[in-house]
Copies of this chain bind each other. A is one copy, B any other.
Amino acid sequence: MTDVKNVTAAILIIGNEVLSGRTKDANLNWMAKRLTDLGIRLKEARVIPDVENVIVSAVNEMRTTYDYVFTTGGIGPTHDDITSACIAKAFGAEIHRHPEAKALLEAYIPADRLNEARLKMADVPVGSELIENPVSRAPGFRMENVFIMAGVPSIMRAMFDSLAPLLTGGAKVMSQAVATYLPEGAVAEGLGQIQDRYPDADIGSYPFYRDGKFGCTLVTRTSDEADLATAADEIRAMIIALGGEPIEQDMVSGSAEDEDGDDFDTGDKKK
């Protein structure tokens, strides 16, 4: 057990285009890994449309529930970019044209092209701090525990790198994954018993189908190093007792591996 605070976060993905299916979100998984590596537990992610009351209420719900909130999308120059105004409304703050943000745009965009729409990208709620955007200059911003970033992945990632030093992580969740070519249904009972013995760990089973064979990856996640090692040992022993072979997966944090997402368990299929 650890007495380090659990630090939590939520992600709010703002954009009609993700909900219509036109754009495939590419930010959630990237941020999830980064947060895990920083010792911050992502507890919720939500995709919502460009609708003021929906954005305002989601922001207010999340910022009072989680330690950190990260938003993506809606901070460009067009009429459908309403995130900054919504953040101001959520906090009951006024919007102002941030002098430093304006200067950044003035230094980057020729004067004859710096129209009102583009200058709108310098409008942020009073009380917010800018987040640097090394890619295209127009900054993100931080309002208390809410970090507002662009939706375009290359810009979002650069902004996240800019703000990461401001984040304070808690107990880092480590994970250990052991795979085996036994189907989930075969390990379920023993795995549940191991979970019962490690109530502070989070043990998950992720089925896969690979090279014509069914199997599952059994992942232990905990911030307690001793529990991590002994729970993984028990999982290996269980696999061997069931006639399987434990296959080590090299994971030092929860973020080391991508599943291809197309694995499954069918039990020991007849035929």
Contact = CB atoms under 8 A, between A and B. Distances in A.
Given A26-B262, A79-B191, A155-B264, 8 more contacts: A18-B28, A21-B30, A24-B259, A113-B185, A113-B268, A115-B186, A118-B267, A138-B266
A17 B78 contact: no
**Interface of chain A, main secondary structure:** mixed
Residue of A54, A77, A136, A262 contacting most chain B CB atoms (<10 Å): A77
A118 B188 contact: yes
A231 interface: no
A245 interface: no
B202 A78 contact: no
Interface centre among A21, A203, A204 (most CB of B within 10 A): A21
Interface stretch (A37-45, A86-94, A139-147, A160-168): A37-45
B49 A46 contact: no
Interface residues of A, number: 91
Given A188-B79, A259-B22, A46 B46 contact: yes
A29 interface: yes
A48 B42 contact: no
Nearest to A27: B261
Interface string A83-120: 00000000000000000000001011110011111101
A247 interface: no
Interface stretch (A123-131, A232-240, A250-258): A250-258
A36 interface: yes
A31 to B, nearest CB: 8
A204 B16 contact: yes
A195 B138 CA distance: 24
A267 B155 contact: no
Given A76-B207, A135-B264, A29 B25 contact: yes
